[in-house]
Chains A and B, each alone.
Chain A
């Protein structure tokens, strides 16, 4: 359909406010402020009825891209079209019939009643001399109702709370009845309750038939509500796709320069991003095969290439997540671990090689052999809340030559199901190991590696009994 032929309010047959979602196409957009290049050849396509989140570090160009899409900023090159209309080629009246904007900060220090503010959303649909039509009134009332601001309608806008104000601005955009809607950090200044309320509302609007693009800095919320994420970094599209494919340790590490772990959130069933402090442990060269002896001789820390983790629960999950997220680029393996254990789930979501076994089953010979191979291949083995059972106590024997780190969050007594002998075997392991908390796992692993290499190079008597 030729968008210029569409008359507002005529496609009312499908109920609601009669808006058909429109596609947004950004093609090869470049934009600079003076010398500073903010967007470089950005291409994004948003399908009709999609909720796409722009994520990325501060200064990545999220807001600038939104402003380019809304028509507020004209790109130096490239085009933006909404519903097939080049947004920079039409009047602002026409563009504001296609796309509404919920800005991050709206200057609303004026005592307009809330209803009048929402009515401003009808501005693009009205001619200069006409008084508001019934259609305008209905659109305003619908928008108020939709955003649960009807009760506030008579209140002055400068006398409502921040969360309410956000909903009023959203109501204004809803009253505009545009097929596409842009939101810049709609949750930035809200408390958690209002953040959810706002995004739930946006999600509803999307489901009713709108295309929405939002810049969202909270990655968890973005993952939870958006159909698709576009990860921007340094003015380019770094990654784009469903939240689970965009939010990964690798992409976040590259885009945000941060140590982050992405795990499934069992409550929301979406991705949760956990950022960890910079551990300062870094290989001198980016490839993990080049932790060369020269590095170690020059006084830098001897970093383990491979670490194997055995254990269960949040201790093991935390350990593998931290080791994987570290910039030390360590190969982490896990297991054996019962499938369904939080450690197994975490390993799966962050892509760690794990030996999963049936819960409560005896460790098969094949799996034991696999585990032993990994222990021998690893520079350090971590026992994280290791549960000593009849099935796996023999694994402790395989640890004899390994550098060991022990992480305990529960007393051994609670984790031992294999009798006194097994317990003593475990305690013996613990005595020669570096003990650590979950948080300090990386340092402990490094320390264990250092101990190991020291004890190996000069052939001295082992102090271990």
Chain B
């Protein structure tokens, strides 16, 4: 018997894994071109410049053809606002959490200090505790803190500290830092100290050594960490739900709100765009990393 022949089970299992991973996404994308408004049944593609079936029998012209729901989406100002919020939060929280997480990883890797194992362990806690617990915790913290601060400084009206973009960003940084630290730490594990010693030996001080040698060498790890933080921030719902305020609605929160009212293929169109963006970003970063590795 050929020892390299694979058991047929392996093929079946592989197909099943990919099916369950991608079938829902494919259905979701398909439904964003649905001619039916209710999104329960697939009523065929929207005909180009043809009739659009509304509910049961209503027929409407669509100037966008099959991309009707995408056009609807682009006219939706609420979605635009939510997308802007989501991206603002994701970029700021990724940037800050990547810096903090990388510094933490370097400190843990390099130095021996008191409470080292404690601080290392405490990094894992936000990863393992349920998000909802963390969300409630952060909410309680903010409301207590803001209550005290508003009282102490006599802040009134618009100047009162309240939940909003700022609180969402802070909470996103809080849950992203441990992930960044773990990813960067894994990269640092195989980092030979003699690279830094060589740089210093050749006349580079600590700062130059970091920017010219250490950072470029750990950059792929830092980028992976940043990518993880970015995607975590993009699709976070639970913690955002607790820490968001008026005017700080993010896409997941917005979609959730839509679903409570009516499910239209607009939600699917939104999700399709979202998936396309995330896939592009991931793909670009992967390319960047594989070039780094060469």
A and B from one complex:
no
A contact set with B: CB distance below 8 Å: none
